[in-house]
Amino acid sequence: MLRDYKDSDAIVLGIPAGGIPIASIIGKKLNLTLDVLVVSKITLPWNREAGYGAVAFDGTIKLNQELIDSLGLSGEEVEAGIRETLKKVKKRVHIFRKGKPPLKLKKRTIIVVDDGLASGYTMLTALEALKKAGAAKIIVAVPTANLNAIKRIEDKVDLVYSPNIRQTYPYAVADAYKHWSDVSEKEVRRILQNS
């Protein structure tokens, strides 16, 4: 269980924006340091809620090539999406980590938190970036997830905690919540400053 990491040297990293409020609660309950892991999905040109890949803070990019092919996205559309998402990630790193030293992740236990897993590509991208940074142990903690997303990431982490796993397709994280609202960048900054 996550409580096994209470008062340890593990660090809780929330993926903005929706993962930050949940990561904050986990960090407080476990008496662990909270920080932000900036990763953002590359959204479809016609649907900002759905994505075909993601970009991480260190420039790591993961693409769902099967989805790109099935949707018939052109190379130009994919490249434009990557460029736009890289800009968003750089902006968020500046906003959320301004003045902070780089994350020291080498040989650390990392608990990665998001508001849920739909396709799992945002988390896959985060995991690859964390491995490049030398994380010793990676635990994923999400309140809800699609079963296929869990299967996509489970062999890349040490543990996955998700109390609400669903098999529906298509799957939207918001559908698992009784009350859903998007978390603003202002709210993310407030939570990070108060942690």
pLDDT digits (tens, 9 = 90+) for 182-194: 888 899 989 998 8
Delimit the domains of the chain by residue range. 2-193
On the question of a cis peptide bond just before residue 170, with omega within 30 degrees of 0, the verdict is yes
| pLDDT interval class at 91 (50, 70, 90) | very high
| pLDDT interval class at 63 (50, 70, 90) | very high
C-beta of residue 22 within 8 angstroms of C-beta of residue 115: yes
CATH number for domain 2-193, candidates 3.90.1150.10, 2.40.110.10, 3.40.50.2020, 3.40.50.970: 3.40.50.2020
State the average pLDDT over residues 132-150.
96
Burial class (CB in 10 A: 0-12, 13-18, 19+), 110: buried
pLDDT digits (tens, 9 = 90+) for 46-62: 888 788 999 999 999 99
